[in-house]
Amino acid sequence: MRLGATIEDYIQSRDPLAYVNECQKQGYRAISFPNVLIGKSDEIQEIKRIFSVADIVIAEVTAWVNPLDPNQKKRQANLKKIAETLIIADQLEAVCCATVAGSFDGSGTPCSHVGHHPENFGPKAFEEVVQWVRHVLDEVKPTRTKLTLEMSPWTLLDGPEIYLELLKAVDRPGLGVHLDPSNVIRNPRDFYSTTQVINRCFDLLGPWIQSCHAKDINYALDARTVAIEEVLPGSGVLDYSTYLRQIEKLSPNTPLIIEHLESKLAYAAALNFIQEKASNIGVTL
């Protein structure tokens, strides 16, 4: 596989040469790259050239917006953003354009695109997700990049079974899967069965998986309610041996991107953990 990270979290640069330099310093062979303005064809071609020469794959170009926003004006703007990001990702020949299924949460908070709402799980949500995904794919018609959705526990797309249903309902070759198994752990039974959860994700979705995220999960201290939180890879319960082996089976070029860490030191610790784990089980990064 190709290990990478959201290094834009700490290098504070949009210069692709700065990205290449940091990737080579850390040993990353994949990258998440910030969005480029649509219509900047010369810039897009130069970015693609720089990463290609360095043998660094652009794993994902992201559009973390809410395609189900209850405010129709905001929803249309968000759908336009996803479509434009998919166009750019396709021109960059990125592995995927990553977004989410969306939420009817209209609060506008930073996480409202995956926010809480009672209608997120019903037939209405399913049909509206199918419609918006078809709309974007039919408009853009990507040929090199897949539109992918990330599973999230408070949205319709909360596990591999519903994702498989969605893939069949959308019925478009441009839709793929972005896998982050940490987001699929929804209850204590899953929490203590991450091996089975990971295997189920790959068994059901393997042919569609384009790119993966590297996080970990642990429980909050108060056991009176269920609270599961993100933690540094290696400091939680996610079965990384199984996860890395399953990614490796897909393709030696499948990206695995470390994300959501607060500092360069945290990214270095996550990198060291994954490198050591991969070395111990014979997986190539």
Indicate the CATH number for domain 2-281. 3.20.20.150
pLDDT in tens, the chain (285 residues): 999 999 999 998 889 999 999 999 999 999 998 778 777 889 999 999 999 999 999 999 999 999 999 999 999 999 999 999 999 999 999 999 999 999 999 999 999 999 999 999 999 999 999 999 999 999 999 999 999 999 999 999 999 999 999 999 999 999 999 999 999 999 999 999 999 999 999 999 999 999 999 999 999 888 889 999 999 999 999 999 999 999 999 999 999 999 999 999 999 999 999 999 999 999 999
Amino acid at residue number 20: V
List the domain boundaries for the chain: 2-281
User: Per-residue pLDDT tens for 220-247?
Assistant: 888 889 999 999 999 999 999 999 999 9
Q: Is the dihedral of CA 9, 11, 15, 16 positive or negative?
A: negative
Q: Among residues 234, 274, 284, 275, which one has the least CA distance to residue 254?
A: 284
User: Per-residue pLDDT tens for 57-91?
Assistant: 999 999 999 999 999 999 999 999 999 999 999 99
Residues in the chain: 285
